[in-house]
């Protein structure tokens, strides 16, 4: 096995997803140690990042989720410190964290994504409802794990939906609602080596894949691989890899897709550049379907750690 030196697993952090990040990081830490890696937990909410250099760390596994971890800020600090890290670089991380900019880039690449507009007021949300019809999704542009999300089914909900999303972000995203099957596609690798793992279908209670159903309940079901034709599977995987490349992602990610019920047309929702690694998480599920254990997945992701702007790759 390669000698990775002393490895920091960044977990916790200051985002609204701190609790999930600790769950992910703990799993990664145990997996790496089981593989003989000299891995240690490091919480940026409790320690300054420059302590990574002072304490002799040589490589970083980012298991942070959300802001100050998945949005390019930590990535930039690690570039300045000269510490190779897992996942995408500064710019791709920042773009992927922002759903509005992600969708703008996908649109310029002619990649299908639901219609959208940015709301600056409750009146804008009502205008979006007139434009896209109901139901409609309203959510913060720069949050994850469905935090601040509302499925608007009545115009009377528009003001409340705006207020809920606005608590988390100045930019509120109004998005055309796609009625269909909820899918996700893990991606591993970089450049020409980037590949899609099996497509996973999410079957949440009453179709509500919210924060609790994602991480803390056991009645959400998953089909891995999803029951799709070979042609449709290949099409969704190719679309997901194209979405990954369009944003400039590296290392690994997870692409969320809606498959429209009426005609099996896929639509890209968002891309996560620091995917969950909890017991309920989907990248490990996709890897297991290919015979890759959780421990080997963590080791593979760690092996891909690099500096993206200049230095060790």
Tokens describing residue 292: 């890759």
- Confidence grade of residue 313 (pLDDT, cut at 50, 70, 90): very low
List CB contacts of 22: < 8 A, sequence separation 6 or more.
11, 12
Active site residue 170: no
> Does the CA dihedral 219-241-297-311 come out positive or negative?
negative
Beta bridge partners of 174: 117, 138
Distance of CA 44 to the CA centre of its chain: 20
Q: Which residue of the set 70, 182, 250, 270 is catalytic?
A: 270
Please state, in angstroms and rounded to a whole number, the distance separating the CA atoms of residues 139 and 16. Answer: 14
Q: Which of 254, 281, 286, 294 is catalytic?
A: 254
Contact 152, 137 (CB under 8 A): yes
* CATH code, residues 95-112+179-300: 3.30.470.20
Express each pLDDT in 30-56 by its tens digit.
999 999 999 999 999 999 999 999 999
pTM of this structure: 0.93
Cis peptide before 122 (omega within 30 of 0): no
Residue 248 annotated in active site: no
Question: Which one is catalytic: 21, 24, 213, 272?
Answer: 272
Active-site residue among 17, 70, 175, 201?
A: 17
Residue 254 annotated in active site = yes
Residue-wise pLDDT for 179-200, tens only, equals: 999 999 999 999 999 999 999 9
Extract the tokens encoding 45: 């909410």
What is the rounded distance in angstroms from the CA atom of residue 42 to the CA atom of residue 49? 9
Element (H, E) at 27: helix 18-34
CATH of domain 6-86: 3.40.50.20
Class of the CATH domain delimited by 116-176: alpha beta
Tokens of 178: 């796609």
Closest CA to 214 of 267, 256, 152, 163: 256
Q: Where are the domains of the chain?
A: 6-86, 95-112+179-300, 116-176
Catalytic residue among 12, 72, 251, 276: 276
For 85-131, what is each residue's pLDDT tens digit? Answer: 999 999 999 999 999 999 999 999 999 999 999 999 999 999 999 99
- CA–CA dist 127, 132 (Å, integer): 9
Percentage of the chain lying above the pLDDT 70 cut:
94
Q: Is 313 exposed, middle or buried (0-12, 13-18, 19+ CB in 10 A)?
A: exposed
């Amino acid at each position: 096995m390669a000698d990775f030196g002393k490895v920091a697993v960044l977990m916790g952090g200051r985002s609204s997803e701190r609790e999930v990040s600790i769950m992910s990081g703990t799993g990664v830490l145990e997996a790496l140690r089981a593989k003989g890696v000299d891995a240690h937990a490091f919480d940026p909410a409790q320690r300054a990042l420059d302590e990574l250099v002072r304490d002799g760390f040589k490589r970083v596994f980012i298991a942070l989720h959300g802001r100050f971890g998945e949005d390019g800020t930590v990535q930039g600090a690690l570039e300045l410190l000269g510490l190779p890290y897992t996942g995408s670089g500064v710019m791709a991380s920042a773009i992927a964290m922002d759903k509005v900019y992600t969708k703008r880039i996908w649109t310029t690449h002619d990649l299908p994504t639901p219609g959208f507009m940015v709301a600056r007021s409750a009146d804008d949300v009502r205008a979006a409802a007139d434009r896209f019809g109901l139901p409609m999704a309203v959510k913060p542009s720069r949050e994850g794990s469905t935090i601040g999300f509302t499925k608007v089914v009545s115009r009377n909900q528009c003001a409340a939906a705006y207020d809920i999303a606005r608590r988390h972000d100045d930019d509120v995203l109004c998005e055309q609602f796609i009625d269909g099957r909820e899918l996700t596609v893990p991606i591993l690798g970089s450049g020409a080596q980037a590949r899609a793992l099996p497509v996973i279908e999410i079957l949440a209670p009453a179709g509500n894949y919210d924060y609790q159903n994602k991480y803390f309940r056991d009645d959400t079901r998953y089909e891995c691989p999803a029951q799709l034709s070979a042609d449709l599977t290949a099409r969704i995987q190719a679309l997901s890899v194209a979405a990954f490349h369009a944003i400039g992602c590296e290392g690994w990610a997870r692409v969320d897709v809606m498959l429209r019920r009426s005609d099996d047309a896929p639509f890209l929702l968002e891309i996560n550049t620091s995917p969950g690694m909890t017991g309920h998480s989907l990248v490990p599920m996709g890897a297991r379907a290919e015979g890759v254990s959780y421990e080997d997945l963590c080791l593979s992701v760690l092996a891909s750690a690099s500096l993206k702007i200049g230095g060790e790759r």
